[in-house]
Amino acid sequence: MSFQDKVVLVTGGSSGIGAAIAIKFAEEGAKVAIVGRNQEKLNDVAKKCGNPLVIQADVTKDEDIKRIVNETVKNFGQIDVLVNNAGIVQIASIEAENAIEVFDKVMSTNLRSVVYLTNLAVPHLKKTKGNIINISSIAGIRVLSKEGFCYDTSKAGLDHFTRSIALELASSGVRVNVINPGPVKTDIMSNMGTPKEMENVILKNMQGMTALGRISGPKPLLVHHL
């Protein structure tokens, strides 16, 4: 399949899986819009993407989501592929005083932002008979650790959201798919302030749950996106 001159919008594109996706699409000839909060990291990724549109934005803010879609369409004239990749990981006990605060923060980033961005992008995707790719997690299918209910619930919700809109949009020629990676070594936890020692413990526990007993990197996932 050729992606020459296709317009691909990637959230969470400043690092990890999102950065790898943006770079690969650019290598395949696509016009890429990269969204993230960290301008310096976005600039680093942009250097590997030819001449991308770089959008510094926070997907938990409605005005930023509107700006993401508007700037992409203004710059490229269309959207062919939407990759909803932005996400955070935070843990909390259901008994913790801040349980609802953490839950709201995770759901806002991992699920609500996807719903709203998709809502605004779909009219453009219908015109191109485009594609939506939602990056979920194995955590949406099985519980990997204690005190992970916020993240697990957000990803399970993302999975079912994907199925629902896939059914709704099929008749319009828009394909919607979800990818549920196992443990992937990225900086998602360090970005949220997780101590390195705790991060290593979490990754080690997850590694023991995989069939091959190892943690993946972002690049092996790319074949599923293209």
Q: Does an H or E element contain 20, and which? A: helix 16-27
Q: Is 151 a catalytic residue?
A: yes
Residues 6 or more apart whose Cβ sits within 8 Å of residue 49: 22, 23, 26, 32, 34
User: Percent helix, strand and coil across the chain, each rounded to 5?
Assistant: 50, 15, 35
Kindly give the residue spans of alpha helices, DSSP state H, lying in 28-148.
Answer: 39-46, 62-76, 99-107, 113-128
Measure the CA dihedral 93/99/104/109, to 10°.
-40
d(CA 124, CA 82): 10
Active-site pick, 68, 151, 174, 194: 151
Per the DSSP assignment, residues forming a β-bridge with 84 are: 134
DSSP state at residue 205: H
Q: Supply the residues annotated as catalytic.
A: 151
